[in-house]
Amino acid sequence: MLIMNEITKSYDGIIIIKNISFKLFKGNKIGMIGKNGVGKTTLIKLIMGEEIPDQGSVIIEPHMRIAHLGQQIEYDITKNEAIRKIKDYFCNNSGANKAFIKQLHKEMIEILDNKQGIDTLSGGEKTKLGLLLTLTEDADLYILDEPTNHLDIRTIEALMVYIQKLNKTILIISHDREFLNGTVSNIIEIKPNQAITYEGNYDSYKEQKYLENVTREKAYTKQEREIKHLKAIIEDKKRFYNKAHNSAGQNDFLRSKAKKHVSTIKSTEKKLDKILANKVDAPEEEQVAAFQYLNKIDQEDLPSCLIHVENIVKSYHKPLIEDLSFQVFRGDRIAICGANGTGKTTLIKMLVGDITVDKGSLKKTPRLKVGYFSQEMDNLNIKHTILEEVKNNSFSESETRTILAGFLFRGEAVFKKIKDLSMGEKSRVVFVKLLMGHPNILMLDEITNYMDIISKECLEKILCLYQGTVIFISHDLYFIRNIANRIIEFKRDDIQIFDGLYEEMRSWEERQQQEKDQKIAGNKEIIRNLAMLEYRLVYVNSKLCDVFLGSEEKIALEDEFSELCKEISEIKNKIN
């Protein structure tokens, strides 16, 4: 359906992508990944015809219809036009009863009815509207650029199921690893001068990358050993030649013997040049923050229970959190998840101490030292370099740079100004500052929001090594699975606390739902039997009213009437 052939694109003389090639085939579900700024969105603009490549060609199947959901969702339609478009689709399409689309339709009509205009929608509401308008287009190729942005976990899970069943060609650009695992059958990794296609979902890609790295490490080690060996031979032969040449003087025999070293040097240099021309790059390094400096967590004399929350209430015009009780224990990894606007950030701000509870009790151990990451990241000095911003008298500059390298700020990158950083880079800077203060509990509000996959995986490794307690808000299911051992889930009408992993919670919920479904199915059968018994009771009662009824028949009917009444009463008691 689509061929990107040797594509190069630059802006203001700066090359963004170079010699990129890949193909999309009909029916493919492709995940496109790569670091922030590597050129993924530029590639989409080239596919859409919004940009023209400097070199190379974009070959698209004639008359191919493309539906595109961009990251920046801005609409030039009014609220009423959006409502009409959504309603028209459902009026004119018999196949519009798919659960996810139907639910989105219901939600968005209700949301739009209560909004002044499109521009007043929240980030999550804009994403839902974008998904609805995009996925209901009649297209051959669907391009979804960060389709899970601002969505809660339950919506993401429902979208995953929908895409799994959608028999269309789909290209998904995403940093959401769980979403990629559940939707795509191929991964295209974009690098500045290369696009590599891998079979399978994200986990399969990771396994292949690991094997590639192992193979590259072996080849690199062998290569470096061979380079060192050849350089030693060249140095030795040059030394022997110089010594032999100086000793030979005018003796032709000795001069001829010395020249043999020259031919050996030249042949060895040719071997070396060949290796260097096809040099294997060093394997990608596994970077982890220097925890010999950072992981000095003071946990002595800390009690097992760090925070005790009992029947807390918080209201804004109407109750947001009601009668919530739980405890935070030393070493906990608690994920706070759920729908937007349900009170997650309010809870973490109460735990930090930024806002107070209206009712109830929230007690923290006095020795608690909190490292708090807020979504706003408003405590950075934009005039500072990264190195200046994280400066801490407890660490030397050398130690600080080692720590920053572990957070993907290497070499000259530490001198970048805060004002020039992406949101993902700013997130990492704030996190470095938190850890350098040696907190014994971290409270993180959507820390992965702007991070690419490499940054997220770096953060996960650090949090797994961190010895303190962690409470975090996230919609990133992969992140939650890797970090959390307890879950607090905010629902529209309830807050569920589960002591266990996310998978265990979902399994428990599925069992609960199965039992509920079985009970409903059983009740349906009981109700059907009840109806038959009641119909029979009415018939028997009508027969008893017959004046020509014989005495024996009347006795039999009266006995049956009594038995039916008893049986109906027992069934009704069971249902109630």
Helices (H), 484-550: 502-544
360: alpha, beta or left, given left = phi > 0 and alpha = psi -120 to 50? left
Residuewise pLDDT in 10s, the chain (576 residues)? 899 999 999 988 888 899 999 999 999 999 999 988 889 989 999 999 999 999 999 999 999 999 999 876 666 678 888 888 888 887 777 555 578 888 888 888 888 888 877 888 888 888 898 899 899 888 999 999 999 988 999 999 999 999 999 999 999 999 999 999 999 999 999 988 889 999 999 999 999 998 988 888 888 889 889 989 888 888 887 777 777 666 655 555 556 666 666 778 888 888 888 888 888 877 766 556 666 667 777 666 789 999 999 999 999 888 899 999 999 999 999 999 998 888 999 999 999 999 999 999 999 999 899 999 998 887 899 999 999 999 988 889 998 998 898 888 988 999 999 999 988 899 999 999 999 998 999 999 999 988 999 999 989 988 988 889 999 999 999 999 999 999 999 987 889 999 999 999 988 988 888 877 777 777 777 888 888 888 888 888 888 887 777 888 888 888 888 988 988 888 888 766
What count of residues does the chain have?
576
Dihedral in degrees, nearest 10, Cα atoms 132, 136, 140, 145: 0
Residues 6+ apart with CB under 8 A from 65: 137, 138, 139, 140, 141
Instruction: Measure CA 219 to chain center.
Output: 33
Q: What pLDDT is attached to residue 490?
A: 93
Q: Which helix (H) or strand (E) holds 364?
A: strand 359-364
pTM for the model stands at 0.80
Q: What is each CA distance from 277 to 64, 270, 273, 280, 405, in whole angstroms? A: 43, 10, 6, 9, 30
Q: What pLDDT is attached to residue 76?
A: 67
Q: What pLDDT is attached to residue 288?
A: 61
Helices (H), 78-152: 79-92, 99-113, 123-135
